[in-house]
Amino acid sequence: MSSTPKQQPETPKTGKGRPTPARKQQEQLRKKPVVGNKSPEAKRAAKRALTAERAKAREGLANGEDRYLTIRDRGPQRRLARDVVDSRFTVGELVLPMLFLVIIVSSIRPDDPQLDLTIQLGTLVAMWGLFVLIGIDGYIIGKKALKVVETKYPGRGEKGLRWYAAMRSIQMRGMRLPKPQIKRGTKIL
């Protein structure tokens, strides 16, 4: 007889067929993102790209490019209404300077109660008078903007155009967005 060991019948393996990974390895896998590159270099590159895109959008908005405008400001009728408002001086441009002046003047407290009452009443009347003038001016500007748009685009007067023009007229000229593309005093149609 031969002295070679007998072949034992193979027993089926149980388990997953690989060693259990160390806890440290599992924790590292959990911390890494499943999708996307989140390395510091990739984050910096994404931030630079986003900054460049925002600068481009800000410049486009300031120049009045339709692609970068809000839905409220898009379209040829709205552009024409903006030009109507920007072509003239509006009383609404005086709101912030007047509020600043009223705050300063109303903070003056003279010793004479009669003079104090006169100052307080004067600032109150001045502000309410300005608000009335702004309302009248907004009505006139809205009406004029609608008339100019109807002249250039017959039958295509947009809903809310008068209100849009009136609200733009209240803003200070330097703070309007999109920036005025027309000089003050330019004749529109």
Which tens digit of pLDDT belongs to each residue from 24-62? 988 887 776 656 767 788 889 989 999 999 999 999 988
Q: What is the pLDDT of residue 134?
A: 95
Nearest to 109 by CA among 118, 96, 101: 118
Nearest to 98 by CA among 70, 73, 122: 122
Mind listing the pLDDT tens digit for each residue in 67-92? 999 899 999 999 999 999 999 999 99
The H or E element that residue 33 is part of is none
Q: How confident is the model at residue 135 (pLDDT cuts 50, 70, 90)?
A: very high
